[in-house]
């Protein structure tokens, strides 16, 4: 089974929790044991599993990436001024695979699934969610 999620982003760099949308698709699939693949379309966004207890970890992720990969110093900036966005997305990666255990996402208490926006705001980020039975 495959469904899409569309997310509007409101900041240039930010993490957006999509766990509930992915969980809903898994529930709808009625797959008891398997995996779900979450993949974002676009070269300046990524998918990450991270803590969602409060915003501190999400803010720290953005702060770290901004320190490691500063804006405005890359060759690609001459084309469209977003070289850092491409590098951040490449390091984090476009997808995550999560086990489905007893019909639910196999995440721990503190794990959530995030869309990572590195070149926003965007009116729509398209995420493909593919559920596969084991």
pLDDT band at 125 (very low <50, low <70, confident <90, very high): very high
Are 33 and 100 in contact, with CB atoms under 8 Å apart? yes
Q: What's the mean pLDDT in 95-113?
A: 97
pLDDT band at 28 (very low <50, low <70, confident <90, very high): very high
Q: Which domain holds residue 102?
A: 2-133
Q: Which two tokens stand for residue 103?
A: 């019909």
Percentage of the residues of the chain whose pLDDT score is greater than 70: 100
The tens digit of pLDDT for each residue in 55-92 reads: 999 999 999 999 999 999 999 999 999 999 999 999 99
Task: State how far the Cα of 128 lies from the Cα of 11, in Å rounded to an integer.
Answer: 21
Q: Which two tokens stand for residue 20?
A: 């509930």
Q: What CATH code is carried by the domain that includes residue 103?
A: 2.60.120.460
Are 112 and 49 in contact, with CB atoms under 8 Å apart? yes
Residues facing 45 on adjacent strands: 117
Structurally, how many domains does the chain consist of? 1
């Amino acid at each position: 089974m495959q469904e899409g999620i569309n997310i509007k982003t409101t900041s240039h760099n930010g993490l957006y929790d999509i766990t509930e949308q992915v969980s809903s698709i898994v529930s709808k699939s009625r797959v008891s044991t398997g995996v779900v693949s979450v993949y974002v379309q676009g070269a300046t966004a990524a998918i990450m599993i991270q803590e969602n207890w409060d915003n501190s970890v999400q803010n720290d992720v953005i702060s770290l990436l901004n320190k490691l990969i500063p804006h405005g110093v890359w060759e690609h900036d001459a084309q469209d001024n977003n070289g850092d966005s491409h590098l951040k997305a490449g390091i984090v990666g476009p997808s995550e695979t999560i086990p489905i255990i007893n019909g639910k996402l196999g995440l721990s208490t503190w794990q959530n699934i995030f869309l990572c926006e590195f070149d926003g705001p965007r009116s729509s980020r398209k995420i493909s969610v593919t559920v596969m039975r084991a």
